[in-house]
Chain A
């Protein structure tokens, strides 16, 4: 059975636990626009590996604490 990989993120939670870091502050630390952070946070855009590392560096955590893989069935049985 083919499995679809779904990438989720904990950016909202991590921002909250980092003195309620704003999306703008995170955007400046990662070197992207606030719109890009909004898109990533809401799961509408999957960042490049480089940007994913920059975001995890901004929170000073491992990349897998920011982005998680969630294998899901694609519905074909």
Chain B
């Protein structure tokens, strides 16, 4: 498995964990107070908080992953020469034309899923569902889109 594939796997796992945590938290809040569904400010704040937290977590995880991956390469290769290690790490981390094409295709998948989510959420709103449901569908479809980007 290449560095890019492992990084995608990490993004998928962290995305799934964030969705599960958000869903359980939002469900618990909803159980407690059903009038929350009409409170757009509450859901907007909650979603924004989760976006900020998840972005922070993903950045920290990517940095930690990069550090541990570099260390593992040095250990596996049993190499002590810094230049040789750096060369091997650069070779592993290099993004070539195929990686870029795969990246573009996966981004396309993400956009499609998010776009479908936007249409579904607007349809729900048009059908006079509560704003809380619309915002949650929008957020979850965006998260699903980013998870599926990794799979693609």
Chain A residues packing against B (C-beta within 8 Å):
27-28, 31-36, 39, 45, 47-48, 51
- Please tell me if the beta carbons of B97 and A47 are within 8 angstroms of each other in the complex: yes
Interfacial chain B residues near A31, Cβ < 8 Å: 94, 96
Choice from A33, A39, A45, A47 contacting B94 with Cβ under 8 Å:
A33
- Please tell me if the beta carbons of B96 and A39 are within 8 angstroms of each other in the complex: no
B99 contacts chain A at the CB level, 8 A cutoff: yes
Instruction: Beyond the given A32-B97, A48-B97, please list 19 additional residue pairs across the A-B interface where CB-CB is below 8 A.
Output: A27-B91, A31-B94, A32-B98, A33-B2, A33-B91, A33-B92, A33-B94, A33-B96, A33-B98, A33-B99, A34-B2, A35-B2, A35-B5, A35-B98, A39-B98, A45-B98, A47-B97, A51-B96, A51-B97
Chain B residues packing against A (C-beta within 8 Å):
2, 5, 91-92, 94, 96-99
Smallest distance from the beta carbon of A49 to chain B beta carbons, Å? 11
- Please tell me if the beta carbons of B98 and A36 are within 8 angstroms of each other in the complex: yes
Complex Cα distance, B94 from A35, in Å, reads 11
Residue of B nearest to A44 (CB): B98
Complex Cα distance, B98 from A36, in Å, reads 6
Smallest distance from the beta carbon of B83 to chain A beta carbons, Å? 15
Smallest distance from the beta carbon of B95 to chain A beta carbons, Å? 8
Complex Cα distance, B98 from A33, in Å, reads 9
Interfacial chain A residues near B94, Cβ < 8 Å: 31-33
- What are 7 A-B contacts defined by CB distance under 8 Å? A31-B96, A33-B2, A33-B98, A35-B2, A36-B98, A36-B99, A48-B97
- Please tell me if the beta carbons of A36 and B91 are within 8 angstroms of each other in the complex: no
Interfacial chain B residues near A36, Cβ < 8 Å: 96-99
Top 10 nearest A-B pairs (CB, nearest first) are A32-B96, A36-B98, A35-B2, A36-B96, A33-B96, A48-B97, A45-B98, A33-B2, A33-B94, A51-B97
- Please tell me if the beta carbons of A28 and B97 are within 8 angstroms of each other in the complex: no
Complex Cα distance, B2 from A48, in Å, reads 21
Residue of B nearest to A27 (CB): B91
